[in-house]
Amino acid sequence: MTITVLYFAWVRERIGLPRETVETEAATVADLVAELCTGEERYAAAFADLSALRVALDQELSDFDAPLEGVREVAFFPPMTGG
């Protein structure tokens, strides 16, 4: 399946791009992260501490155990600082 992956704030800076399209068969978010981390070193640096990250699936907050089936957009970012 084809998934759009978005990165925000320091996750975007560490990975070096705001979005990319990924072809994957990953079953869960954690599987997708593991797959990305087999690529260039910058991915492992960005995903080193998952407790410092949040994930949204199709623009809804979710978690790393969540299944990816049917998901079109995955976003990774640090805890939000609005207001």
Partner 1 sequence: MRIVVQEAPFDFGAEAQDFASGHTDMGAIVTFTGVVRDIAGDRLDRMVIEHYPGMTEKALEGIAEEAVSRWNLGDVLVIHRYGDLRPGDMIMMVATAAPHRKDAFEAAEYLMDYLKSRAPFWKQEFTSDGGKWVAAKDEDEDALSRW
Closest CB to partner 1 among 27 and 61? 61
Determine the Cα–Cα distance for residues 80 and 78; give it in Å rounded to an integer: 6
- One residue of 1, 5, 9, 42 binding partner 1 per CB under 8 A: 9
According to CB under 8 A, which one of 24, 56, 64, 66 is a site residue for partner 1?
56
Sheet strands side by side (includes 73-77): 19-23, 2-7, 73-77, 54-57, 60-62
Q: Kindly list the residues in this chain that would bind partner 1 in the complex (CB under 8 A).
A: 6, 8-10, 12, 56, 59-61, 75, 77-83
